[in-house]
Amino acid sequence: MLEKIKKILEASENRKTFFARIERYYSKYSKEYKFIERAYDDAKDAFRHTKRDGGERYFEHVRAVAIILIDYLHIFELMGLEIPAYKVVAAALLHDIVEDCPEWSLSRIKKCYGSDVAWLLDYVSKRPKSDFSSEEEQLKFYHSRFVTAPRVFFLIKLADRLHNQLTLWCCDIEKIRRKMLETAKHYIPWARKLGILAHELEATTDNFEEHLRKHSKQCAII
């Protein structure tokens, strides 16, 4: 299953390929298509000058999360979602914008995208570090909100975490270990409980200490 996701994400992506997916479900003249298109453009613009640890554009990450939702979790075919699927995809594209881009507040999201998307981003986004005495307290508060989070939040958050896990190996050793342990403690239990990407996330953490030792040796050689 993890190999299937990797294969999906290995494909060369651009605006045309992304919106070819959307056109399978919505006319390019529909309000749903336009809504997703606006989120795509706002996310791309907001992260235009931001890079990830591996050097790739940050926008590639948010687009990858949306692609996991569309191509692997089949978001447009799921029934009983708390909000319409097209808004979930828009929220996936915007999922880091409030946390990482000061010009994008939750109130701005609500004004531009409505209360449904703002509601999701409120759960997805960590509160500012300045609100807490330490990063540990910040994360503790963030994880505590999972108890009241809607299922649709986990579709985005677990897809986000999975992509982060798959692209983690360019980070420093301590960050890799920290994220692996956090995934095992806070994300995999919810994934199992809800039946969302559980096996895939577990596969990313299996024997990670052994992989970490090999990775450390490779880095030392380089």
d(CA 47, CA 44): 5
Helices and strands in the chain, H and E counts: 13, 0
Residue 57, φ and ψ in degrees, nearest 5: -60, 140
Residue 93 domain boundaries: 2-221
State both tokens at 87.
């808004």
Average confidence (pLDDT) over 150-167 = 96
Sequence letter at residue 32: E
15: domain CATH number is 1.10.3210.10
Number of domains in the chain: 1
Check residue 71 and give its pLDDT: 97
- In the three-class reduction of DSSP (H, G, I as helix; E, B as strand; rest coil), residue 51 is classed as strand
Average confidence (pLDDT) over 129-144 = 95
Confidence grade of residue 216 (pLDDT, cut at 50, 70, 90): low
With 0.85 as the threshold, say if the pTM is over it: yes
| Distances in whole angstroms, Cα of residue 49 to Cα of each of 14, 15, 163 | 17, 18, 20
Confidence grade of residue 156 (pLDDT, cut at 50, 70, 90): very high
d(CA 137, CA 152): 25
pLDDT tens, 10-62? Answer: 989 999 999 999 999 999 999 999 999 999 999 999 999 999 988 899 999 99
